[in-house]
């Protein structure tokens, strides 16, 4: 699964769990059901839910009666936290190393790195203002 898929799948899965009111283990939603909603392969959902579990956002139980549920209210889960759980940061990329002796190649990497860092910070700040509950409200 590419990094570009992780965040949308994670946000969708969390919104679906909130929609299903899966706030405890007895209301757990199976990965096959989550995958049908996304839509994607259940293996992709299990990989993403494992990351969300490590971040303390969801609980999960394996097996035939397994599934996932939210450990926090949807109103308190912001998308910057979701992004960090599955990607580490907004991260638009890595600046090239540059070429010594080239007037552009020596200086551009620092300029590109600075631009990437600013964009990552702006994305994280905006995502920090949006909750899983907001996503669900906008979907209705």
pLDDT in the model for residue 59:
96
pLDDT in the model for residue 64:
78
**pLDDT tens-digit profile, the chain (140 residues):** 556 789 999 999 999 999 999 999 999 999 899 999 999 888 899 999 999 999 999 999 888 788 999 999 999 999 999 999 998 765 666 666 777 888 888 888 888 888 888 988 898 899 999 999 999 999 87
Compute the CA torsion angle 17, 89, 40, 61 (nearest 10 deg): -50
CATH of the domain at 104: 1.10.10.10
Domain residues for the domain of 58 are: 3-139
Q: How many domains does the chain fold into?
A: 1
Q: Who's near 18: CB < 8 A, 6+ residues apart?
A: 70, 74, 132, 133, 136
pLDDT in the model for residue 28:
95
């Amino acid at each position: 699964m590419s990094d570009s898929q992780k965040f949308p799948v994670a946000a969708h899965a969390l919104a679906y769990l909130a929609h299903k009111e899966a706030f405890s283990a007895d209301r757990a939603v199976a990965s096959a059901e989550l995958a049908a909603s996304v839509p994607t392969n259940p293996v992709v959902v299990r990989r993403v839910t494992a990351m969300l579990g490590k971040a303390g956002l969801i609980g999960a139980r394996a097996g035939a009666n397994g599934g996932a549920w939210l450990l926090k209210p949807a109103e308190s889960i912001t998308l910057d936290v979701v992004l960090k759980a599955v990607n580490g940061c907004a991260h638009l990329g890595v600046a090239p190393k540059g070429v010594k002796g080239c007037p552009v190649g020596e200086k551009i990497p620092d300029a590109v790195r600075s631009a990437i860092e600013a964009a990552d910070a702006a994305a994280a700040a905006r995502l920090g203002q949006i909750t899983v509950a907001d996503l669900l409200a906008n979907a209705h």
